[in-house]
Amino acid sequence: MKKFGKFLFGAMLGGLIGSGVALLLAPASGKQTQQEIVSYFGHLKDEVQKAADEKRVELEAQLHALQSGKQVTIEEKQA
């Protein structure tokens, strides 16, 4: 869980720094820069969503394994 939090923090911080630098150094028009920033954050959102989905699947698998192990332990005690 700590790794995902660090990833999320890094992704957000990188996005903010990158967009700030892009605004300061961009030779493009304001409208074009805005479109690029919107596109970048759309991509960033997709990456974060993908990472969150992967983590959810991993945690659900771990939960299932724990619940299965708990059930086996209960059945062993009853036998």
For the stretch 20-32, pLDDT in tens is: 787 777 676 778 8
Q: Is the per-residue pLDDT at 66 higher than 70?
A: yes
Structural domain of 66: 2-78
- Domain total for the chain? 1
Single pTM value for the model? 0.50
- Least Cα distance to 37 among 20, 59, 62, 54 occurs for 20
Q: Average pLDDT of the chain?
A: 81
DSSP string covering 47-70: HHHHHHHHHHHHHHHHHHHHHHHH
Assign 1 to helix, strand or coil: coil
Quickly state the pLDDT bin for 76 (edges 50, 70, 90): low
Determine the residue type at 50: K
Residue 53: the pLDDT is 92
